[in-house]
Chains A and B, each alone.
Chain A
Amino acid sequence: MTEPAEPDLGDLPRAVPTQSRWSRLPLIWILPSVVVIAGAFVVIHEMLAQGTAIQIQFRTAEDLEANKTKIRYKDVEIGEVRAIHVSQDRDSVVVDAMIHPDASDYLVSDTRFWVVRPRVSAAGVTGLGTLVSGANISIDVGKSTDRRRYFVGLEVPPIVTANLQGREFILHADDLGSLSIGSSVFYRHIEAGQVVGYDLDPTGTSVTLKVFINAPFDTYVTAATRFWQASGIDMSLNSDGVRLRTESLTSILQGGVAFQGLPGSTATAVPKDTSFPLYPDEERAMRPTETEVRSFVMFFNGSLRGLSAGAPVELHGIGVGEVRSVDVEYDRDAGSLRFPVAVDIYPQRIRGRKASGAHSARTAADPETSGRRLIDSLVAHGLRAELKTGNLLTGQKYVELDMHPDAMAEKVYWDEQPSVFPTVSNGLDEIQDSVASIARRLGKVPFDQISYRLLSTMTSLEQTLKSTDQLMRHVDGTLAPQVQATLAEAQAAMKNAKDLLAQDAPLQSDLGATLLQLSRAAKAVSALVDYLERHPESLLRGKPGDSP
């Protein structure tokens, strides 16, 4: 490098010193260190504050917008959608979202996402707010501990969220009825849960439903709990009368299920996913289970009109059985029709009422034989079945078992199945018949004729007596003096009498005729009296030959 030639500086003007425009900045190595540290600080802070990136797969990106749609948990914003793009297989849409760092531990393997949009379902209309604010994605945090970054979103909001306390149970029914997902489950008319799903059984013969019962109602689900369809209005009309039941207005509209424990049961709570049958109505559901059923056949006189299947069999008013069917049989040998009534009796009910303490040990030994023995014993003591009218309004009949001590001795023949249970005719009917026949007979007695005859006989008797009396008086009054006179006369009369008492004397003939009449009358009376003595019923019934 060549040095520039030094000119003669004498001529050159001197530069004018001025203030430096720029003040010197005091700098040390601390500055970059500070900057680096601060920078590192910032970087770390930003990384921590950034949150977690996740991906959610949905079928469609409808209502979702990048940098706008929020992700909410319990309506608190915990993240935002950053980008939306179509998946590799073009079958779905993948949403890239950023979750706030303080919600990053929500991202576990059983966490669920769904889009909240306006929806109409059995549970009602939800998500209307999103019409105004725009859709958002809601999250249900799972309980797992495995972290996850890629999720498959739900297309419909879940009925049961993870933090909902309660248990699921399984119900079996013949058909779905008016139930659907979201239909309410009631306990004592309080909404206690929801139907969360249903499916046709593999065999196609019944429907399996899944219900979720919220806490604390799930503790009331025991082994003795019965579930029934409480949809709509339940109306029953039977020998007990008319009954109208409904759970709630919503259940009328959307169907519902109700449950309750059998009264008097103290069973413990059952684990989740226990199966229960779903009964069609409360009545059927709440019938206590019959562990023992004995089928019988009964034959009744009289009309079976008003007796229907399901009619109760009662013992002193207590239900101990049920009529299963009413049939018609043609007995070819006898050439007549028979009407067997198939009846189910639950001996347990009888036993259950009696058996407490000493008896229960005995009866528990062998249910079959002890049951037969019980029935044999009861029948021997006169237990019979009768058909009675339960409801005058509807004319419904039922079967009543009762003790008839003076009934004819009968036995249950256990060999023929189903065994025939002895019946008696209805007492009231007999009385009716008797009264009817008496009335008929009474109607046939010719009361007027008898009375007329009697009257005439009495009259003639009276006349006879009168005549006799007159005669006596005659004898007394007129005859006494007349006797003297008559004695005189008699002498005369004797002479007369002799004359009179001659064959054709009129007095003689008169007297004779009168006495004859008298004896005839007396005879008749005594004959009558005799007859009445012997056949007093003829007063009512008349003489044989008079009445048919």
Chain B
Amino acid sequence: MGRREPALSDPVTGRSLGLLVCLSCRATVRRVPAAYSRCPRCHARLHERKPHSLAITTALVIAAAVLYVPANVLPVMSTRTLIDDESDTIMSGVLVLLQSGSWPIAVLVFIASIVVPLLKILALGILLYSAWRRSTRRRLQRSELFRMVEFIGRWSMLDIYAVSLLATLVQIQSFASIIVGWGAWSFGAVVVLTLLAARTFDERLLWDASPHD
């Protein structure tokens, strides 16, 4: 990202103006000097920043990172036929797809199931780190990063949906049956955690640190 931050002296933040944004209904409201306040429009709780955003998000991200390991190590799906029993992790599934010739799908699964969660975790890690450190560098990029993270988060559910369909359909006694593995569960957990992490992360935190601080 080569764009430079806009040469603004100091854009006025809503905060400095005593404005709050209702996260629920996006109304701009004036702050009141109370510990807890509600949005006048939608009655949602108002927070200047998401409460304990950093802490919760960090916890979630760590959990997700931990679960990422079994998600890739444990088999996501095992195929049981009359003759053999084959277990597939995400990676081996991708390889199988590659070998059988459908490489676009292999690429898709690879990206969605391996790259995306990893990216998410890494990105969130970066963001958290910069938020913790109150870093002011490349904040634009980081913001964009965050938006990307928000966007792509859901796509890592791809393989889970595929597995659920396969496991439901391929239940033919005399031929083959597909069993869902714990890798899939871990994977689902990773997705949920990163999703929640993205939601709990208050991106405004990135900008809280003023370059002039």
Contacts and interface: CB of A to CB of B under 8 A. Distances in A.
- The answer on direct contact between A and B (beta carbons under 8 Å) is yes
Q: How large is the interface on B (under 10, 10 to 19, 20 to 34, 35 or more residues)?
A: 10 to 19
A314 interface: no
Interface string B14-54: 00010100000000111000000000110000000000000
Contacts of B28: 4
B11 interface: yes
Interface string A1-21: 110110100011100000000
A4 B31 CA distance: 10
A68 interface: yes
B82 interface: no
A65 to B, nearest CB: 7
Given A1-B40, A65-B174, A13 B8 contact: yes
Contacts of B19: 4
Contact of B173 (A5, A11, A65): A65
B172 interface: yes
Contacts, number: 20
A4 B29 contact: yes
B150 to A, nearest CB: 15
Contacts of B40: 1-2
B43 to A, nearest CB: 11
Contacts of A65: 173-174
Nearest to B30: A4
A74 B172 CA distance: 27
A1 B38 CA distance: 12
Contacts of B8: 13
A1 to B, nearest CB: 5
Given A65-B173, A65-B174, A68-B172, A1 B41 contact: yes
A5 B32 CA distance: 12
Q: Is the interface of B mostly helix, strand, loop or mixed?
A: loop
Contacts of B174: 65, 68
A316 B17 CA distance: 145
Given A1-B40, A2-B40, A68-B172, A12 B30 contact: no
B11 A7 contact: no
B12 interface: yes
B168 to A, nearest CB: 13
B78 to A, nearest CB: 21
Nearest to A7: B17
A12 B173 contact: no
A11 B29 contact: no
Nearest to B19: A4
B47 to A, nearest CB: 17
A13 B30 contact: no
Contacts of A1: 40-41
Given A4-B30, A7-B17, A68-B172, A12 B12 contact: yes
A68 B175 CA distance: 11
A543 to B, nearest CB: 117
B29 A13 contact: no
Nearest to A16: B6
Contacts of B29: 4
A11 B30 contact: no
Interface of A: 1-2, 4-5, 7, 11-13, 65, 67-68
Given A1-B41, A13-B12, A68-B174, 14 more contacts: A1-B40, A2-B30, A2-B40, A4-B19, A4-B28, A4-B29, A4-B30, A5-B30, A7-B17, A12-B12, A13-B8, A65-B173, A67-B172, A68-B172
